C-alpha cells in the first residue's frame, strides 16, 4: 500500500472565513450548488468543517456573540456534511459505498457514506484566547524516519531508576506523547515474515519517556504517592495508519502456543477510521479498542533488585521446579538484565555510566509492580491508571501501542502493533500507596496498580464462547491451573474456526488481536480451573455458529490469501491433536 490514511477532499483553514476557504462553504440546500470534490466507491476520504456558526461563537467568558449572532448564516456545510452546534473544529472520516437498484440507470444509484471516525479539535480563531486553548503540549515527538536512539529525545528499552527524564509535566496539564511501534520499526509492511523470524528481541520494547511529574507548586511526585494518569485521547500517528500481528519462531521468542505453531508468521492490518482489516486474514473486520500496552513508573533500586533476584531464580531453576514449563514452551522463562540491545535514553552508550546501568536495568517484557507491560486492552480513551511512585518525579514511560488486542495477546507479538500517540493528564495523590494499595509481599513495594475503564468500547451483542479446562493435550490432569485451561480454550477456538475456510495460523493471529474476551470462569472446583474465550460473531462476514447439517463449504470459503510465514528450521517436537482438522 503506497500510503495510509484518508485523502483530504475538503480542507479547512481556521484562519479564514467560511467563504474564503479553498472550497467555499455553503449554508443552503439547492440542486444547482456545484460539487467541490469527487470520491470513488470504496475510497477512504476526509472532510473537514467549521462549527455551525462558521466561527461566530468564540471561546471567551461572554455570551454576547450568541446573543447577537445572525441565525440566517447557519449552518455552514462542507459539500453534504452538516456540522453541529458547538464551537469546535470537526473532522469526519468517511467511506463511500455505492449500490445500484436493478442496475438500470443512474437515477437508481444509491449513495451511502459510512462514518468511520470523527475527531473534535479545539478552535483557536482569535489569538487573544490562545492561552486558554486546551491543545495538548507535545512533550515527546517522534520522527518515523529516524531510529529510536536517533530521536530528539532518545527512547529507552529498560527499567532503571537512573534513566534520566526527558520532560517535565505539571498536574492537570494535557500533554502529548508520541511513540514508535514496540520493535522500533523493525517489522515492515511487506510480503515477507523474515523480519519477524530474525528479529533481535533484546531491543524491545522501545519506550517514550521517562516523564517527570510535578504539582502546581513545582514539587515532584514522591515515593509513596500514587500517580493517576488519565488517557484523554490516543491513536495511530498520522500518515502511519497500519499495523501488524505476528508470531515468533520457536527458537526466537515463541508464543503461548509455540509448540503448536513453531513458525514465524505475520499479518498486516490497515485502518479505516476505527476499523481494521487485513488482506492476510480476509473475511473479518472489527473496530479497534486502541490502547498502550505499556505504561509504568520507574522502579527504585530496592525494587529493581527484588525483580532481578526473583526472576533470576525462575530462569535458573524453573525448568526443574515449575511443572507448568512442561506444558507452556515459551523460552526463556525470564528475560534477565543484558547489555545486548540496551538503550538508555539520553545516556551515551559505552560510557561508564551506561555500562553500570545496562548491567542492572530490567527488561520491559513482563508487567510488574510499576505497571509496565500489562497489555490490558481496556486502557483506552477515558481510562485512568493509578500507578505506584517509587522514585522522585515518578518518571513514567509508555509505549507498545496497540490498535486492537484480544485478551491474553496469545501470539506474543499478538496485538495489532503500531506507532501512535497518547494525550494524557496526570494527578498526584500524596501518600496514595499507603492509603489505597495493600502490599502482597514482604515489603511495602509489593503492590500493584489499579485502573478505571473508560466509557468508550466496541459494542457486541452476540458471542460464541469456547471453554477450556486444566487438562493438557496429553490428557494429563493439572490442579486448578488457569494457564492450561486458557490454552485449551484457545486451541478449541482455533480448531473450530478453522472449519470455516481459515488456516489455523490465521485464527491464531486473529484471536490474539481481535476484541475477544478471556475469562477465568471457575477457579475453586477442584481439580479443574475453567477458562473461557468469547469471540464476537459480528466480526466475521459469515455465520460461524453451529447449525443443523455440515459446516458450509464452497468457493467463497476457500481463503486463497493466508498469513505470511517462514519455515521452522529447529528440531523441537511439535504438538498436534490427531483428532483435529489439519
39 within a domain of the structure (yes/no):
no
565 within a domain of the structure (yes/no):
yes
Residue 194 binned pLDDT confidence (cut-offs 50, 70, 90): very high
Mean pLDDT, rounded, for 101-125: 46
Spatial distance between the Cα atoms of 422 and 235, rounded to a whole number of angstroms: 7
What is the predicted pLDDT for the residue at 62?
76
Burial class, 582, CB count within 10 angstroms (exposed 0-12 / middle 13-18 / buried 19+): exposed
Question: Are residues 307 and 173 both part of a single domain?
Answer: yes
| Listed range (96-110, 184-198, 412-426) with the worst mean pLDDT | 96-110
Mean pLDDT, rounded, for 549-556: 66
Predicted TM-score (pTM) of the model is 0.89
Spatial distance between the Cα atoms of 540 and 543, rounded to a whole number of angstroms: 7
Residue 100 binned pLDDT confidence (cut-offs 50, 70, 90): very low
The closest of 239, 117, 228 to 178, measured between CA atoms, is 239
Strands 167-170 vs 384-388: parallel, antiparallel or unpaired: unpaired
What is the predicted pLDDT for the residue at 346?
98
Q: How many domains does the chain fold into?
A: 2
- pLDDT of 126 higher than 50: no
Residue 199's alpha-carbon distances to 189, 293, 349, in angstroms, are 15, 19, 21
Spatial distance between the Cα atoms of 557 and 402, rounded to a whole number of angstroms: 29
Residue 229 has which C-alpha cell? Answer: 494518569
| Listed range (12-26, 81-95, 273-287, 477-491) with the worst mean pLDDT | 81-95
pLDDT in tens, 355-403: 999 999 999 999 999 999 999 999 999 999 999 999 999 999 999 999 9
Question: Are residues 446 and 511 both part of a single domain?
Answer: no
Q: Domain range for residue 355?
A: 137-187+205-234+278-452
- pLDDT of 35 higher than 50: yes
Burial class, 546, CB count within 10 angstroms (exposed 0-12 / middle 13-18 / buried 19+): exposed
Mean pLDDT of the chain: 90
Residue 183 binned pLDDT confidence (cut-offs 50, 70, 90): very high
Question: Are residues 404 and 484 both part of a single domain?
Answer: no
Q: Residue 535's beta-bridge partner residues?
A: 464
- pLDDT of 38 higher than 60: yes
What is the predicted pLDDT for the residue at 129?
35
250 within a domain of the structure (yes/no):
no
Residue 544 binned pLDDT confidence (cut-offs 50, 70, 90): very high
Single residue among 425, 452, 479 that ends a domain in this structure: 452
Strands 207-214 vs 167-170: parallel, antiparallel or unpaired: parallel
The angle that helices 482-497 and 504-513 make with each other, rounded to 10 degrees, is 130
pLDDT in tens, 202-261: 999 999 999 999 999 999 999 999 999 999 999 999 999 999 999 999 999 999 999 999
Who contacts 242 (Cβ-Cβ below 8 Å, separation ≥6)? 1, 4, 189, 236, 268, 269, 270, 271, 418
Question: Are residues 298 and 336 both part of a single domain?
Answer: yes
Question: Are residues 430 and 495 both part of a single domain?
Answer: no
pLDDT > 90 fraction of the chain, expressed in percent and rounded: 79
Residue 61 binned pLDDT confidence (cut-offs 50, 70, 90): confident
Spatial distance between the Cα atoms of 358 and 539, rounded to a whole number of angstroms: 44
What is the predicted pLDDT for the residue at 72?
72
| Listed range (10-14, 128-132, 278-282, 568-572) with the worst mean pLDDT | 128-132
Regarding predicted confidence, which is higher, 99 or 543? 543
Spatial distance between the Cα atoms of 279 and 22, rounded to a whole number of angstroms: 36
523 within a domain of the structure (yes/no):
yes
Instruction: Give yes or no for a contact between 77 and 27, defined as CB atoms under 8 angstroms apart.
Output: yes
Q: How far is CA 441 from the centre of its chain?
A: 31
Question: Are residues 437 and 488 both part of a single domain?
Answer: no
94 within a domain of the structure (yes/no):
no
Backbone angles phi, psi at 388, to 5 degrees: -65, 145
Spatial distance between the Cα atoms of 490 and 488, rounded to a whole number of angstroms: 5
Residue 5 binned pLDDT confidence (cut-offs 50, 70, 90): confident
Q: Render 75-113 in DSSP notation, one character per residue.
A: PPEETTEE--SSSEEEEEEEEEEEEESTT--GGGEEEEE
What is the predicted pLDDT for the residue at 16?
95
Q: How far is CA 93 from the centre of its chain?
A: 20
What is the predicted pLDDT for the residue at 78?
55
Mean pLDDT, rounded, for 430-453: 97
Who contacts 461 (Cβ-Cβ below 8 Å, separation ≥6)? 538
86 within a domain of the structure (yes/no):
no
pLDDT in tens, 319-332: 988 989 999 998 99
Domain CATH code at residue 314: 2.60.120.580
Question: Are residues 391 and 424 both part of a single domain?
Answer: yes
Spatial distance between the Cα atoms of 459 and 286, rounded to a whole number of angstroms: 11
What is the predicted pLDDT for the residue at 104?
42
**Secondary structure element (H or E) that encloses residue 321, with its range:** helix 301-321
Single residue among 452, 474, 489 that ends a domain in this structure: 452
Q: How far is CA 337 from the centre of its chain?
A: 26
491 within a domain of the structure (yes/no):
yes
- pLDDT of 558 higher than 90: no
Question: Are residues 416 and 304 both part of a single domain?
Answer: yes
What is the predicted pLDDT for the residue at 99?
46
Single residue among 452, 486, 506 that ends a domain in this structure: 452
pLDDT in tens, 75-88: 666 543 333 333 34
Question: Are residues 219 and 310 both part of a single domain?
Answer: yes
Question: Are residues 367 and 420 both part of a single domain?
Answer: yes
For residue 153, give the DSSP letter: S
pLDDT in tens, 404-414: 999 999 999 99
Question: Are residues 289 and 405 both part of a single domain?
Answer: yes
Instruction: Give yes or no for a contact between 526 and 471, defined as CB atoms under 8 angstroms apart.
Output: no
3-state secondary structure 233-289: EEECCCCCCEEEEEECCCCCCCCCCCCCCCCCEEEEEEEECCEEECCCCCCECEECC
pLDDT > 70 fraction of the chain, expressed in percent and rounded: 86
- pLDDT of 318 higher than 60: yes
Sign of the dihedral defined by the CA atoms of residues 151, 399, 536, 118, in that order: negative
What is the predicted pLDDT for the residue at 74?
60
30 within a domain of the structure (yes/no):
no
Question: Are residues 434 and 487 both part of a single domain?
Answer: no
What is the predicted pLDDT for the residue at 90?
46
Helix, strand or coil, per DSSP, at residue 450: strand
Amino acid at each position: 500500500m503506497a500510503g495510509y490514511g484518508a485523502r483530504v477532499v475538503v480542507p479547512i483553514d481556521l484562519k479564514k472565513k467560511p467563504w474564503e476557504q479553498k472550497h467555499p462553504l455553503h449554508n443552503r440546500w439547492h440542486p444547482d450548488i456545484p460539487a467541490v470534490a469527487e470520491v470513488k466507491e470504496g475510497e477512504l476520504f476526509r472532510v473537514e468543517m467549521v462549527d455551525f456558526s462558521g466561527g461566530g461563537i468564540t471561546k471567551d467568558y461572554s455570551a454576547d456573540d450568541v446573543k447577537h449572532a445572525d441565525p440566517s448564516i447557519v449552518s455552514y456545510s462542507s459539500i453534504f456534511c452538516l456540522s453541529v452546534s458547538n464551537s469546535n473544529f470537526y473532522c469526519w472520516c468517511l467511506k463511500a459505498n455505492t449500490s445500484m437498484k436493478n442496475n438500470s440507470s443512474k437515477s437508481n444509484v444509491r449513495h451511502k457514506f459510512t462514518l468511520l471516525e470523527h475527531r473534535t479539535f479545539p478552535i483557536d480563531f482569535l489569538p487573544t484566547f490562545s492561552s486558554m486553548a486546551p491543545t495538548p503540549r507535545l512533550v515527546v515527538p517522534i520522527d518515523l524516519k529516524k531510529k529510536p536512539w536517533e530521536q530528539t529525545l532518545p527512547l529507552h528499552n529498560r527499567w532503571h531508576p537512573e534513566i534520566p527524564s526527558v520532560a517535565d509535566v505539571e498536574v492537570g496539564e494535557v500533554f502529548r506523547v508520541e511513540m514508535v511501534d514496540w520493535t522500533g520499526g523493525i517489522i515492515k509492511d511487506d510480503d515477507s515474515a523474515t523480519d519477524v523470524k530474525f528479529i533481535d528481541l533484546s531491543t524491545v520494547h522501545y519506550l517514550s519517556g521517562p516523564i517527570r511529574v510535578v504539582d502546581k507548586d513545582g514539587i515532584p511526585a514522591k515515593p509513596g504517592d500514587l500517580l493517576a494518569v488519565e488517557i484523554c485521547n490516543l491513536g495511530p500517528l498520522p500518515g502511519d495508519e497500519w499495523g501488524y500481528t505476528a508470531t515468533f519462531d520457536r527458537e526466537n521468542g515463541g508464543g503461548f502456543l509455540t509448540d503448536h505453531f513453531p513458525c514465524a508468521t505475520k499479518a498486516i492490518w490497515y485502518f479505516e477510521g476505527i476499523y481494521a482489516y487485513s488482506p492476510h486474514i480476509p473475511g473479518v473486520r472489527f473496530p479497534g479498542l486502541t490502547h498502550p500496552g505499556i505504561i509504568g513508573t520507574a522502579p527504585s533500586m530496592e525494587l529493581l533488585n527484588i525483580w532481578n533476584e526473583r526472576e533470576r531464580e525462575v530462569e535458573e531453576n524453573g525448568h526443574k521446579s515449575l511443572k507448568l514449563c512442561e506444558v507452556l514452551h515459551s523460552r526463556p522463562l525470564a528475560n534477565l538484565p543484558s547489555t545486548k540491545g540496551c538503550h538508555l535514553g539520553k545516556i551515551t552508550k559505552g560510557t561508564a555510566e551506561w555500562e553500570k546501568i545496562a548491567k542492572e536495568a530490567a527488561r520491559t517484557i513482563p508487567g510488574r509492580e510499576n505497571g509496565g507491560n500489562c497489555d490490558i486492552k481496556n486502557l483506552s480513551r477515558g481510562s485512568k491508571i493509578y500507578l505506584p511512585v517509587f522514585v522522585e518525579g515518578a518518571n513514567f514511560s509508555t509505549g507498545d501501542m496497540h490498535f486492537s488486542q484480544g485478551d491474553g495477546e496469545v501470539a506474543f507479538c499478538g496485538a495489532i502493533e503500531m506507532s501512535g500517540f497518547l494525550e494524557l493528564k496526570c494527578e498526584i495523590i500524596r501518600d496514595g500507596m499507603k492509603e489505597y494499595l495493600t502490599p502482597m509481599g514482604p515489603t511495602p513495594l509489593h503492590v500493584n496498580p489499579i485502573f478505571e475503564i473508560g466509557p468508550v468500547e466496541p459494542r457486541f451483542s452476540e458471542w460464541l464462547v469456547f471453554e477450556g479446562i486444566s487438562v493438557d493435550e496429553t490428557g494429563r490432569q493439572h490442579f486448578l491451573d488457569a494457564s492450561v485451561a486458557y490454552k485449551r480454550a484457545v486451541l478449541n477456538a482455533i480448531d473450530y474456526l478453522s472449519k470455516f475456510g481459515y488456516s489455523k495460523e490465521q485464527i491464531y493471529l486473529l484471536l490474539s488481536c481481535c476484541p475477544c474476551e478471556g475469562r477465568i470462569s471457575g477457579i475453586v472446583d477442584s481439580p479443574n480451573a475453567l477458562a473461557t474465550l468469547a469471540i464476537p460473531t459480528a466480526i466475521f462476514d459469515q455465520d460461524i455458529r453451529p447449525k443443523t447439517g455440515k459446516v458450509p463449504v464452497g468457493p467463497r470459503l476457500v481463503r486463497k490469501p493466508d498469513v505470511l510465514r517462514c519455515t521452522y528450521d529447529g528440531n523441537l517436537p511439535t504438538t498436534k491433536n490427531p483428532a483435529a482438522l489439519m
